[in-house]
Amino acid sequence: MSSKQHAAILCSPGMGHLIPVLELGKRLVTHLNFSVTIFISPSSEAELKAATSTKILDIVQLPPPDISGLVGPDTSVPTKLVVMMRELRQVFRSAVRAMKFTPTMLIVDLFGTESFPIAEELGIPKYLFFASNAWFFSFLICCLTFDKEVEGNFVDHKEPLKVPGCREFRPQLDVFDVMLYRTNQQYHDFVGIASRIPKCSDGILLNMWEELEPTTLAALRDENLLGRHLTVPVYPIGPIIRPNDLSCSKGKVFDWLDKQPSESVIFLSFGSGGALLHEQMTEIAWGLEFSQQRFIWVICAPTTTTADAAYLTTDCDDESPLKYLPEGFVDRTKDLGLVIPFWAPQVEILAHPSVGGFLSHCGWSSTLESLTNGVPMIVWPLHAEQRVNATLLTEEFEVAVRSKIPPWKKVVDRKEIEEMVRMIMEDQKGFVLRERMKKLKESAAKALGEGGSSRNALSQFAKHGESMYMKLANVNVR
């Protein structure tokens, strides 16, 4: 190809989707000298601001799709996302066709797979950016088989679900939230997505690195194991996360952190859309206070419905969510910690040397941000694939602890929270977890460095993109 490659990336709404897509775009520009155009349909001003703050990417804002007649008040977030992305296809198609130069490839994230035919119309290759880990990807690859094998709802299924060559999924603990009830539309939406991945894409970009999950990757590439269901290549190019931005490490929070001893502060955050029951917020507050450990806690208003209730909400209500904390909590803990309403500079906080633990909903970006900073975790999965991540962190990588009762089932009480916080912050167990985390931190840095596995995978992906483009150019007369 004489000119440079140009990726059109279609991004689903939601900050949790936008952040890794922007970072992927930046990496394609800086490491591979691609041109990148990202198509967004932001669900909030914050998303728009984050997207347009990057000078090296072309950002095209698509008008928000009108889904009012297609979803109801009880429609789940995943189904809403599927419907939004479906409704967006027409404007996306027109926007791509209106570009001065046709892109040389299309990349979509998990909710954008219904736009793969647009790449076919343009005669360009198409890739899925799966902004998560290989084990979760293996679940999606086996989804159609599970759909046939499991009778009734997954949640009632007693036997572990077998994935050739990989760790099995225990329905009660590990199965992707969205797939638990066959009676729910989101189940069928995901089976649909899963069916398009192996058939319609030319390759998969995974947000992890070769050395993190070697067994699962080997199974995905082995045609006697998972490779039976997947004929396209997988490229582990991660960790792709927002880098530490020193200009964000200023102000009250960082002045306070600078004064704390090394690795003495636990950070608590539940991502861009996670919400807790009010009762659970109260127990966490008491657990923290009893633990007497230093903390920074990002607080959002509690939910009365689902744990992902805050996802896709555009409005942070003006009232401070601090009012939901136990009376006197902020005052009593003023020498111990900080509470931050709504949103905090998470990457910069996790990178600060005073931070030594992370209580997290373990969304995959948050997980990677913890891994790359060597910070051990208390996992608190709430929705989406977070329970998959929680199992990886506690049982596969052994860098985290979790409550005895899954937090999505019951309220975890203050005593257990106090114990877990103490465990990772001051016990020998915490020390061991931290040492393992530091090894993963080194492994991630190596993968991203010159000659590292993720760098190599990225170059292989670029070569694949180029040869696919040429092959399609010979088939289609552009």
The span from the CA of 201 to the CA of 108, in Å, is 10
- 1, two tokens: 């190809």
Q: Annotated catalytic, 17?
A: yes
**Which strands sit side by side in the sheet containing 400-402, from one edge to the other?**
337-341, 294-299, 265-269, 355-360, 377-379, 400-402
CB of 183 to ligand UDP, least distance (A): 24
Give the nearer residue to ligand UDP in terms of CB position, either 256 or 290. 256
Task: List Cα–Cα distances, 291 to 31, 207, 317, in angstroms.
Answer: 45, 35, 31
- Assess 273 for contact with ligand UDP (CB under 6 A): yes
Stretch that binds ligand UDP, among 45-53, 185-193, 338-346, 455-463 (CB under 6 A): 338-346
| Contact pick of 8, 10, 15, 60 for ligand UDP (by CB under 6 A) | 15
- Assess 453 for contact with ligand UDP (CB under 6 A): no
| Contact pick of 41, 207, 269, 391 for ligand UDP (by CB under 6 A) | 269
Q: Which of 17, 157, 383, 464 is catalytic?
A: 17
Draw the binding track, 230-259, toward ligand UDP (x: CB under 6 A; -: no contact): ------------x-----------------
Give the nearer residue to ligand UDP in terms of CB position, either 50 or 232. 50
Give the nearer residue to ligand UDP in terms of CB position, either 290 or 324. 324
- Assess 283 for contact with ligand UDP (CB under 6 A): no
- Assess 57 for contact with ligand UDP (CB under 6 A): no
CB of 287 to ligand UDP, least distance (A): 20
CA of residue 180 relative to chain centroid, distance: 19
- Assess 19 for contact with ligand UDP (CB under 6 A): yes
Give the nearer residue to ligand UDP in terms of CB position, either 18 or 161. 18
Q: Is the peptide bond before 239 cis (omega within 30 degrees of 0)?
A: yes
- Assess 303 for contact with ligand UDP (CB under 6 A): no
Range 297-314 burial, b when 16+ CB lie within 10 A, else e: bbbbbbbeebbbbbbbbe
- 13, two tokens: 């709404």
**Residue 203's beta-bridge partner residues?**
127
The span from the CA of 144 to the CA of 151, in Å, is 13
For the chain, first and last CA: distance in Å? Answer: 14
Q: Which of residues 101-120 bind ligand UDP (CB under 6 A)?
A: none
Task: List Cα–Cα distances, 269 to 193, 338, 395, in angstroms.
Answer: 29, 12, 22
- Assess 347 for contact with ligand UDP (CB under 6 A): yes
Give the nearer residue to ligand UDP in terms of CB position, either 285 or 347. 347
Task: List Cα–Cα distances, 7 to 124, 332, 344, 420, in angstroms.
Answer: 10, 52, 31, 44
Q: Annotated catalytic, 278?
A: no
| Contact pick of 322, 343, 405, 432 for ligand UDP (by CB under 6 A) | 343
Draw the binding track, 352-371, toward ligand UDP (x: CB under 6 A; -: no contact): -----------xxxx--x--
CA of residue 208 relative to chain centroid, distance: 11
- Sign, Cα dihedral of 449, 453, 457, 463: positive
Give the nearer residue to ligand UDP in terms of CB position, either 243 or 261. 243
The residues of the shown chain that bind ligand UDP, judged by CB under 6 A, are: 15-16, 19, 242, 269, 271-274, 298, 343-344, 346-347, 363-366, 369
Known catalytic residues?
17, 109
